[in-house]
């Protein structure tokens, strides 16, 4: 076996040791994160970058090389991939710092290229190793890269274009999920999750803790936020998928806070509309039911079925013609 082949075999986690390796990788990542924070001013950024690139790349490679089990990634493989991707993203941010970027106020250009590169890395195990969690991270980072690119190119300060970008990106993710529904059900579900997060971002931008210019959310986006919340909850319940259901609740909570922040002390229009629609639906479900027709009497002992009975000693045979 060649040196490269032997090294590759060494870095392929054996399935029976996968959980131990994944647990160790998480502990190692936490320790390195603590070291990075405590020694941020003591050690040059180049050293921090090298540590994160080396360890993050190693953990990511271990996750990418781990074998699937019955065509699905085992839990330890997902842990390795998530840990490695997170460390590589941090390493790329430090790389930007080494190249002259100011991490105290991360620029749109820095976020754009670091998010895009990390998303591209995550796409490889997403399809090569059938890793749905990697696809989710790639979709989230892709959204960050999209918003950062718009800010970098147009320097837009108004939230309006970012809302439209998030809405179109969410629609793109949902359509992609429909295309993956049959061949990759789990991948389709995480794309729905990412689409729900994109819509939640529209609502979060208008909260006081996130809003830059304290702009209220226009009515059309309130409808989008509410519709996405109801749709995600319904999808999660029907498909028995907890992720979309939780994100649906998140969107509904954001809708409540965003509408409540308008300061209107009145039942018009949202409270009254929702109360009326909800009450009608509940009453419709509880309306009195029409009694079902009585069941026919059972055949007595020795009695022939209706289809086989003779009328005036003449045998009647009923034939169904499908022509």
Count the neighbouring beta carbons within 10 Å of the beta carbon of residue 153.
Answer: 11
Model pLDDT, residue 16: 85
Cis geometry, peptide bond prior to residue 274 (ω within 30 degrees of 0): no
pTM of the model: 0.84
3-class DSSP assignment, residue 69: strand
pLDDT reading at 237 higher than 60: yes
Count the neighbouring beta carbons within 10 Å of the beta carbon of residue 58.
Answer: 16
Length of the chain in terms of residues written = 323
Q: Give Dmax over CA atoms of the chain in angstroms.
A: 108
pLDDT reading at 22 higher than 70: yes
pLDDT reading at 302 higher than 70: no
Token pair for 296: 């026919």
Count the neighbouring beta carbons within 10 Å of the beta carbon of residue 103.
Answer: 13
Model pLDDT, residue 12: 75
The answer to whether 316 touches 306, Cβ cutoff 8 Å, is: no
Non-local CB neighbours of 161 within 8 Å, separated by 6+ positions: 150, 154
pLDDT reading at 211 higher than 60: no
3-class DSSP assignment, residue 105: helix
Percent of the chain with pLDDT over 90: 70
Model pLDDT, residue 266: 82
For residues 215, 168, 148 and 247, what is the CA-based torsion angle, rounded to 10 degrees? Answer: 70
DSSP 210: T
**DSSP H helices in the chain:** 3-10, 18-38, 45-65, 75-98, 108-128, 132-154, 160-180, 185-204, 219-239, 242-260, 270-286
Q: pLDDT higher for 216 or 251?
A: 251
Model pLDDT, residue 71: 83
3-class DSSP assignment, residue 316: coil
- 262 falls in which pLDDT band (50, 70, 90)? confident
Gap between the Cα atoms of 25 and 150, Å rounded: 36
pLDDT reading at 60 higher than 80: yes
Contacts 24+ apart (CB under 8 A), 223-226: 224/167, 224/199, 225/199, 225/200, 225/251, 225/254, 225/255, 225/258, 226/251, 226/252, 226/255
Model pLDDT, residue 119: 98
Model pLDDT, residue 102: 87
Q: pLDDT higher for 157 or 62?
A: 62
Model pLDDT, residue 51: 97
- For the stretch 189-210, pLDDT in tens is 999 999 999 999 999 998 877 6
What does the mean pLDDT of the chain come to? 89
Gap between the Cα atoms of 282 and 277, Å rounded: 9
Nearest-5° Cα angle at 132, 8 to 168: 130
Token pair for 287: 């309306």
- Mean pLDDT is lowest, of 173-177, 226-230, 246-250, 306-310, for 306-310
The candidate with the shortest Cα–Cα distance to 198, out of 223, 171, 220, is 171
Gap between the Cα atoms of 56 and 13, Å rounded: 16
Gap between the Cα atoms of 278 and 281, Å rounded: 5
Model pLDDT, residue 160: 93
Gap between the Cα atoms of 87 and 82, Å rounded: 9
- 13 falls in which pLDDT band (50, 70, 90)? confident
pLDDT reading at 181 higher than 80: yes
pLDDT reading at 222 higher than 80: yes
Q: pLDDT higher for 307 or 150?
A: 150
Gap between the Cα atoms of 77 and 70, Å rounded: 13
Gap between the Cα atoms of 97 and 10, Å rounded: 33
- For the stretch 35-44, pLDDT in tens is 999 998 899 9
- For the stretch 90-148, pLDDT in tens is 999 999 999 998 888 889 999 999 999 999 999 999 999 999 999 999 999 999 999 99
Domain boundaries, the chain: 1-155, 156-272
The answer to whether 141 touches 119, Cβ cutoff 8 Å, is: yes
């Amino acid at each position: 076996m060649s040196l490269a082949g032997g090294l590759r075999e060494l870095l392929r986690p054996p399935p029976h040791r996968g959980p131990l390796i994944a647990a160790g990788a998480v502990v190692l990542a936490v320790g390195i994160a603590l070291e990075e924070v405590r020694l941020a001013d003591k050690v040059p950024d180049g050293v921090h970058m090298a540590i994160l690139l080396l360890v993050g790349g190693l953990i990511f490679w271990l996750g990418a090389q781990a074998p699937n089990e019955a065509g699905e990634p085992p839990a330890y493989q997902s842990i390795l991939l998530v840990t490695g991707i997170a460390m590589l993203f941090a390493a790329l941010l430090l790389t930007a710092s080494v190249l002259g970027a100011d991490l105290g106020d991360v620029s749109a250009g820095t976020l754009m290229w670091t998010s895009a590169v990390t998303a591209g890395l995550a796409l490889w195990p997403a399809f090569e190793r059938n890793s749905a969690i990697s696809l989710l991270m790639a979709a989230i980072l892709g959204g960050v890269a999209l918003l950062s690119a718009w800010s970098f190119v147009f320097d837009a300060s108004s939230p309006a274009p970012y809302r439209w970008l998030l809405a179109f990106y969410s629609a793109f993710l949902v359509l992609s999920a429909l295309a993956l529904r049959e061949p990759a059900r789990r991948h389709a579900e995480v794309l729905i999750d990412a689409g729900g997060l994109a819509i939640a971002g529209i609502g979060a931008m208008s909260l006081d803790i996130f809003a830059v210019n304290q702009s209220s959310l226009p009515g059309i986006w309130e409808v989008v936020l509410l519709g996405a919340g109801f749709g995600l909850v319904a999808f999660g319940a029907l498909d028995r998928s907890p992720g979309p259901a939780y994100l649906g609740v998140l969107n509904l909570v954001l809708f409540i806070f965003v509408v409540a922040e308008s300061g209107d002390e009145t039942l018009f229009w949202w409270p009254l509309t929702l109360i009326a629609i909800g009450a009608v639906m509940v009453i419709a479900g509880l309306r009195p039911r029409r009694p079902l027709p009585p069941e026919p009497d059972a055949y007595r002992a020795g009695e022939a079925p209706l289809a086989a009975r003779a009328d005036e000693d003449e045998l009647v045979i009923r034939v169904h013609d499908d022509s």
